[in-house]
Amino acid sequence: MLAVHTIPAAFSEEDCDRILFQAATVPPEDAKLVGQNKDHNIRRADLVWLDNVPDTGWVMDQVIDLVRVANRDTFGFDVTEFMESVQVAHYDSAREGHFDWHSDIGDGRIASKRKLTLVAQLSEPDGYVGGLLEVMPSSHTVTANTARGTVTIFPSYVLHRVTPVTEGSRVSMTVWAHGPAFR
């Protein structure tokens, strides 16, 4: 069984603050699904893509190092590139922010090449209720560590969700590593 890989304090408090500050400089978009479809019953969140935010290349530099080590030590997948921007997702209780069970591999040209999903916790865990990242690598569910700056990495084909936020707001960052299709 492939593990869910956790990296505590992968991003420092200062890193998290800087990402949040930089992401707040551009207007968010309503979250969509693969294929640009929108379904608030499945996903309700606001997104900022860091490619649209000046001076955020340092985030991707850090992500590349984290994925390289996690892939070497845990997964051993054929990962060749990052084809999508880093997204910062804001799940707010006012909108009942959530993302129901799904996998990150989709039918799209790029989504079909996703190999690893990286999720970084940017907000303080006491700033919201609900909003848990749950990953189902087999017949059991693993709840991701909610400590600020923690990174969770798992195969993109694994089912996962963000439970509804019932109080406050949760902010996380997600990016995918890509490679040839699984065979």
Q: What is the mean pLDDT of residues 107-121?
A: 93
Q: Where are the domains of the chain?
A: 5-30+43-124+132-178
Q: What is the mean pLDDT of residues 28-54?
A: 78
pLDDT computed for residue 156 by the predictor: 96
The predicted pLDDT at position 11 comes to 98
93 pLDDT higher than 70: yes
Range 29-57 average pLDDT: 79
Residue 34 predicted with pLDDT over 60:
no
Quick one: pLDDT at residue 108? Answer: 81
- What pLDDT does residue 1 have? 46
Nearest alpha carbon to residue 158 among 139, 175, 135: 135
Residue 42 binned pLDDT confidence (cut-offs 50, 70, 90): confident
Lowest mean pLDDT among 40-44, 78-82, 106-110, 173-177: 40-44
Does 68 or 38 have the greater pLDDT score?
68
Q: Over 60: is that where the pLDDT of 38 sits?
A: no
Percent of the chain with pLDDT over 70: 93
Confidence of residue 41 (pLDDT cuts 50, 70, 90): low
Q: Write down the pLDDT at residue 32.
A: 63
CATH topology of domain 5-30+43-124+132-178: Jelly Rolls (2.60.120)
Could you please report the per-residue DSSP string of the chain? -PPPEEETTSS-HHHHHHHHHHHTTS--EE---TTS---TTTEE-EEEEGGGSTT-HHHHHHHHHHHHHHIIIII-----B--S--EEEEEEGGGT-EEEEE-S--SSTTGGGEEEEEEEE-S-GGGEEE--EEEESSSS-EEPP-STT-EEEEETTSEEEEPPEEEEEEEEEEEEEE-SPP-
180: pLDDT strictly greater than 80: yes
**Residue 73: predicted pLDDT:** 94
Position 55, amino acid? D
Mean residue pLDDT of the chain comes to 92
Q: What type of residue sits at position 16?
A: C
Is there a contact between 175 and 82 (Cβ–Cβ < 8 Å)? yes
